[in-house]
Amino acid sequence: MEDIRPYLKPGVRAHLMGIGGVSMAPLAHVLLGRGLAVSGSDVRPGPAVEELQALGVPVHIGHAPENISGAALVIRTAAVHDDNPEIVAARAAGVPVFERAQAWGALMREYQSALCVAGTHGKTTTTSMCTHIALAAQADPTVMIGGSLPALGKGWRVGAGSAMVVEACEYCDSFLSFFPTVAVILNIEADHLDYFTGGLPQIQRSFRAFAELTPEDGAVVANAEDPNTMAALAGLDRPMLTFGLAAGDVTAAGLRWRNGLAGFDVRFRGETFCHVDLAVPGLHNVKNALAAAAAAIAMRWDAAAVSQGLAAFTGAGRRFERLGEVNGAAVYDDYAHHPGEIQALLTAVRPLGYERVICAFQPHTYTRTKSLFDGFVEALKLADLAVLTDIYPARETDTLGVSSAQLSAAVPGSLYCPSLSDLAAKLRELARPGDLILLVGAGDVVTVGKSLCG
């Protein structure tokens, strides 16, 4: 495989496909900061595209062979396939094509430390928590998050410090192109089964390979209470720091709840490290905070920064994000798209005191819906009312014969609304004071909330 590093120098033109994406847009900004000339393409306009265009970056809407003209290299996301006309044109012209993760991995090697956060669930939130801690520690980090962070006003940051904080995704083994000095593994479950056709064992092998990327003087931060993670890392010959509510090197003590929010002491190998008061609800966020604290210990950030950073974290974009109200009902958006994430979300909001929790769910991809069907049914039962809309296909076409109508039929008392406009109308009809309406999914269901609250 060709090395991308010789191309990442001033004056070289890089063409980024999917340039408006959550990790491609920050890559574009980092490359611009290094003096490269950047162009791009995407299937649709959006705020990230408009921001780049305002900086003078030519961004084409739609993919066409001529878009790569003048480029010395092309960088693509995993969603861009070899039959894309820009990829075909690049190959025909001898222009090298690299994956997004290869570019991030090459950039990582220029930092003294790279904190990479991986796991089936909680990556964006925990990476955001780590970012808050790094800022409190005055580490001046470079950051890449798979979502927007209010403290940054976006999902990325270019710092002058020696540390990089990055969300690391396992899909298509992308994170195996990274060079972590601290590798965090939050949990491992079956997901992305369109790629991981070998199921959980293949996924565990991928995460182990990710952990093995850490150097001998680095560290692996792992969930001591997740059996799949511990099995994947058994016998690993790297320094390891474990975390858990009650088990591991980093644990929680004196856990107390007020209005659904947790306060607790972080204990490190039996000694009190710091106290934490969270501003985000749910036991899952206590676990995320413990992971972030363990990562901070591995990065040698001080206890005060952990307390301050976690107290200041109020959530990431599309992670239990308040959108407004409709007919007196509170409307929130959440990116949950796996049964475990939906279960964690619905469990977390129960103590918040709402009379009724309405979960409006848009499944993401046919393969995930088919393979995790029973898990979705059980998770959605935790809502007072589940309302389902059609599957967001993302990169797929329907070849499996699975539908949201089938999922709705399996969830007692649930409703099915084929389109987003149908969903918006139904939610407006249902909404009443005391309700919590959750718009849930990794697709475009968030647009419903914006229309309801606009």
Residue 315's Cα: distance from chain center in Å?
Answer: 12
Q: Are residues 395 and 331 in the same domain?
A: yes
Whether 408 is in a domain gets the answer yes
pLDDT confidence of residue 189: 95
Whether 105 is in a domain gets the answer no
Whether 104 is in a domain gets the answer no
86, 99, 167, 170: which is the annotated catalytic residue?
A: 167
Element (H, E) at 271: strand 271-281
Residue where a domain stops, chosen among 312, 339, 354: 312
Residue range 436-447: mean pLDDT, rounded: 94
Q: How far is CA 267 from CA 5, 242, 260, 270, in A?
A: 41, 12, 22, 6
Q: What is the mean pLDDT of the chain?
A: 95
Take residue 416 and report the two structure tokens written for it: 């099915």
Distance in angstroms (rounded) separating the CA atoms of residues 363 and 416: 12
Q: Are residues 278 and 403 in the same domain?
A: no
Distance in angstroms (rounded) separating the CA atoms of residues 349 and 343: 10
**In this structure, are residues 311 and 132 in contact, taking their beta carbons and an 8 Å threshold?**
no
Instruction: Identify the CATH number of the domain in which residue 244 sits.
Output: 3.40.1190.10
123 is catalytic: yes
Give every CB contact of residue 371 below 8 A, 6+ residues apart in sequence.
Answer: 190, 193
Reduced to 3 states, what is the DSSP secondary structure of residue 58?
Answer: coil
Q: Are residues 118 and 259 in the same domain?
A: yes
Whether 220 is in a domain gets the answer yes
Task: Quick: pLDDT tens for 382-420.
Answer: 999 999 999 999 878 888 999 999 999 999 999 999 999
Q: Are residues 94 and 140 in the same domain?
A: no
**In this structure, are residues 272 and 307 in contact, taking their beta carbons and an 8 Å threshold?**
no
Q: Are residues 249 and 206 in the same domain?
A: yes
Backbone angles phi and psi of 173, in degrees to 5? 60, 30
> If we measure between CA atoms, which residue out of 201, 282, 187 comes closest to residue 242?
187
Take residue 107 and report the two structure tokens written for it: 């950039």
Reduced to 3 states, what is the DSSP secondary structure of residue 102?
Answer: helix
Q: Are residues 293 and 347 in the same domain?
A: no
Q: Are residues 134 and 46 in the same domain?
A: no
**In this structure, are residues 254 and 265 in contact, taking their beta carbons and an 8 Å threshold?**
yes
Task: Quick: pLDDT tens for 300-347.
Answer: 999 999 999 999 999 888 889 999 999 999 999 999 999 999 999 999
Q: Are residues 434 and 299 in the same domain?
A: no
Residue where a domain stops, chosen among 312, 330, 361: 312
120, 124, 131, 142: which is the annotated catalytic residue?
A: 124
- Per-residue pLDDT for 73 more than 90? yes
287 is catalytic: no
Residue with tokens 């093995």: 212
pLDDT confidence of residue 188: 97
Q: Are residues 295 and 152 in the same domain?
A: yes
Whether 59 is in a domain gets the answer yes
Residue where a domain stops, chosen among 312, 329, 362: 312
Distance in angstroms (rounded) separating the CA atoms of residues 364 and 391: 6
**In this structure, are residues 332 and 452 in contact, taking their beta carbons and an 8 Å threshold?**
no
How long, in residues, is the chain? 454
Residue 71's Cα: distance from chain center in Å?
Answer: 30
Whether 306 is in a domain gets the answer yes
Q: Are residues 149 and 276 in the same domain?
A: yes
123, 154, 287, 370: which is the annotated catalytic residue?
A: 123
125 is catalytic: no
Instruction: Identify the CATH number of the domain in which residue 346 sits.
Output: 3.90.190.20
Task: Quick: pLDDT tens for 163-172.
Answer: 999 999 998 8
Q: Are residues 127 and 195 in the same domain?
A: yes
Number of domains in the chain: 3
Whether 424 is in a domain gets the answer yes
Q: Which domain holds residue 262?
A: 111-312
Q: Are residues 182 and 200 in the same domain?
A: yes
